[in-house]
Chains A and B, each alone.
Chain A
């Protein structure tokens, strides 16, 4: 073969293929990702022309961490299988936690009920009908003590899904440890504490953005000094995605939130390397396999580059994007719910191939109610099957080098950068929230997705095709309405027996401090130590900070 022929062969090959393919009929379907991104029939080296291995991918555990944050990934340690759970009352949850720990689990993940999440005590009129329903009801330190009674808090790590009132619940946790004789610097765990995504997507806010951000930087500062092993924010794309965003929007908005926290910390005068290593992420694993994997890879690369280049982080750990993943609740269907097991399995596999640090797999019945025992077990087994049987995890980042996956990864990064620019033009994340930018982008994507389903441009098995007549649904877990009354009774007894004078004066001190720029965590800690309730602390802060009202965006 002459040199000339050699050079021309590939392009001839491509042309020949294109002509050939052009003549072949395609199914009428639209070939697009779950985020409506069109996908080509074939990806080749032409789609990743500038790919520089060292610069763009590198080695696992090394900059820019595209291939993973640990050098040996799952060969060293599996991801944490962290199933999120919360039950009615502190006492019942405590029993469940102890059982889980006796089975070798080392991490707990607490789900709170809606009144706790919104800062209302169980006896508040707004709590009516919701106490203990979607998680555990915690009103005061007493409940927190019960929740962890007999569980040594220096031996486990605890993840708490709590946002607007995170400071209060965190203080209760610290105070519970004190009662166990454990100093705060020995505590490890995570609070979600990501208020930005609440305004953007999940809508469990209490205060306006400015004071909310101040509480978060107060937590950064306090944690840096007293609770150094704590993950202070779990920057969450999960809920952005569940609200209907595309994969790129999830990626871009979540990272933008992350950078906003970094800037808030820096502007509050805290050294970036003292808090950035404690930031972690929480992503969704939706059903579009390759798009999701590309999303996680792009996320790691963007974070590392920006943290290093823009925010001047020096500590390697500040550059690592560590993340938890949950499979997509919004991809599950109420119809033929057993199919959800299959969906969840693919999603979990994408998360693992994308290099997640921990994973929650949804239960098949989650669309309908709190998960039943059996469904939870299957969900956990799904992860174990991936880990033990599939062999998919023996080598690190196995899809690297795929023309398709690398092209998608690049494309996601580029699209995310465009969003960062637009957000910047709007003046940053908070002004963009105020102008409804994120909310509008998400609402549009959600509406488009719904229309695609209704017009059958997108098929969801069992929903708009492959439909069958179904008998009644699975056995579902029910919460006893009695629980609400009992919790309220306990709360009344507590209010009667605690030293109300001390409570009152500590609340007043907190109120005064809230009007200044002082760090509020020590004041909140003082309150909860005296058994001031969550609702009472939040009410004082509400008085001072005001309450957020959403801008209606459709």
Chain B
């Protein structure tokens, strides 16, 4: 089965791609084998992140961008992330509704995911799913984050270009958006430009960029869009191309990707060490004994941690 899935991904079988994504999301044992096997086929896709407040028009923009990218003959993968309920673990994934016109286009692959407890605005699987779509032959992978407030900025870890979507809607004024999300933008979109207040929002962003003071090599352009009729989307597309060109010619793309590899390795090591330790420790008699001894103040958590670490065997680091 594993082999069939791997071949399927490389040969463009969308059923197998879909399967692989589920295995990754479910943290199945096949996950690492699959990801290792397809790795040689990755590295070609350009990764575009779309983030912004709930209801800002992210999905609608993805839908419109798909039209343009497809016109150029590019193959596109979309990962749309919606929040998972922390209480039930369930989720309703509704971003697809706005992209369903592309459902029958065989060169477009759309996958909805729940955050499943992850906090950064994406799901844990996102990074690996990008790899799958890359190996599957997508030229561009678009990631729509959950509707974010301020601190969910994981998107910059994976996206080559990050688009922050704002609207002129009241209460959504730029001041109210925390610096965090403003700083991650490579391109700003002021969507719903048909509504009053768009000019104000544009100038607020512009002022904020000026306030930064420092000379930037790349000043994020601000694009107005109306997804209802597609106006401004062409301009957005050009801005994206400009940014990509800037990244490539300045060598930043290469650099960023190298950093990403570094971080990936570190993350993987951390994850493996953690899970190995945890498997040995959790529920073990020694662990429980230490807990009760800490409770009765016979020892303290710091001493206990050291004691546990001494007994850990990392040789059998499991996959």
Contacts and interface: CB of A to CB of B under 8 A. Distances in A.
A binds B: yes
Interface of A: 208, 435, 546, 549-552, 554
B308 interface: no
Contact of B98 (A208, A546, A549): A549
Given A435-B55, A554-B92, A549 B97 contact: yes
A387 B60 CA distance: 54
A546 B92 contact: no
Contact of A208 (B55, B94, B97, B228): B228
Contacts of A208: 228
Nearest to A427: B170
A63 B92 CA distance: 49
Interface in B92-147: 92, 94, 97-98
B229 interface: yes
A423 to B, nearest CB: 15
Contacts of B94: 552, 554
Identify the interface centre among A435, A546, A549: most chain B CB within 10 Å of its CB: A549
A70 B92 CA distance: 50
A27 B60 CA distance: 53
Identify the interface centre among B94, B98, B228: most chain A CB within 10 Å of its CB: B228
Interface string B281-304: 000000000000000000000000
Given A208-B228, A546-B229, A552 B55 contact: no
A551 B227 CA distance: 14
Contacts of A549: 60, 97-98
A435 B167 CA distance: 13
10 contacts: A208-B228, A546-B228, A546-B229, A549-B97, A550-B97, A551-B55, A552-B92, A552-B94, A552-B97, A554-B94
Nearest to B170: A427
Q: Give chain A's interface secondary structure class.
A: loop
A546 B230 CA distance: 10
A208 to B, nearest CB: 6
A554 B91 CA distance: 11
Interface of B: 55, 60, 92, 94, 97-98, 228-229
Contacts of A551: 55
Nearest to A554: B92
A208 B227 CA distance: 12
A494 B97 CA distance: 36
Nearest to A552: B94
A546 B55 CA distance: 19
Nearest to B99: A549
Contacts of A435: 55
A554 to B, nearest CB: 5
B83 to A, nearest CB: 12
A549 B228 CA distance: 9
A208 B228 CA distance: 8
Contacts of B97: 549-550, 552
A546 B251 CA distance: 42
Nearest to B230: A546
Contacts of B228: 208, 546
A208 B60 CA distance: 14
Nearest to A211: B228
A551 B55 CA distance: 9
Nearest to B60: A549
A540 to B, nearest CB: 15
Nearest to B100: A549
A379 B55 CA distance: 45
Contacts of B98: 549
Nearest to B95: A552
Nearest to B93: A552
Contacts of A552: 92, 94, 97
A551 B59 CA distance: 11
B64 to A, nearest CB: 11
A552 B229 CA distance: 20
A78 to B, nearest CB: 46
B4 to A, nearest CB: 34
Contacts of A546: 228-229
B14 to A, nearest CB: 23
Contacts of B92: 552, 554
A113 B98 CA distance: 26
Given A549-B97, A551-B55, A554-B94, 5 more contacts: A208-B228, A546-B229, A549-B60, A549-B98, A552-B92
Q: Which 7 A-B pairs have the closest CB atoms?
A: A552-B94, A554-B92, A552-B97, A549-B98, A546-B228, A546-B229, A208-B228
A549 B229 CA distance: 12
A552 B95 CA distance: 8
Nearest to A434: B55
A554 B90 CA distance: 13
B65 to A, nearest CB: 16
Nearest to B92: A554
Contacts of A554: 92, 94
A205 to B, nearest CB: 13
A29 B111 CA distance: 46
A435 B172 CA distance: 13
A546 B226 CA distance: 12
A426 to B, nearest CB: 10
B92 to A, nearest CB: 5
